[in-house]
Amino acid sequence: MFAIPVTPLPATGGRDWDALARAFRGKPILELGQSWIESPEPLLSRGQVRVGISGMSLAVFATLRDRDVFNPVEHFNVPAFPHGDVIEIFLQPEGQESYYEFHITPGGALLQLRWPEPMRSLPVDWSAPPDPLRPYKISRWRIRAQARLSRQGWYVHAEIPLRRIFEAGAPWSGSRMRANFTRYDYTRGRLKPVLSATAPLREPDFHRIADWHTLELRFR
Structure confidence at residue 120 (pLDDT): 84
| Residue range(s) defining the domain that contains residue 39 | 4-217
Strand partners, 93: 177
CA 103 to chain centre: 6
Q: pLDDT digit of tens for each residue in the chain (220 aa)?
A: 689 999 999 976 566 899 999 999 999 999 999 999 999 999 999 999 999 999 999 999 999 999 999 999 999 999 999 999 999 999 999 999 999 999 999 999 999 999 999 988 887 776 667 888 999 999 999 999 999 999 999 999 999 999 999 999 999 999 999 999 999 999 999 989 999 999 999 999 999 999 999 999 999 8
Number of domains making up the chain: 1
CA separation, residue 189 to residues 68, 82, 185, 193 (Å): 10, 14, 13, 10
- Non-local (6+) Cβ contacts of 117 within 8 A are 97, 98
Structure confidence at residue 1 (pLDDT): 62
CATH code (residue 60): 2.60.40.1190
Structure confidence at residue 131 (pLDDT): 86
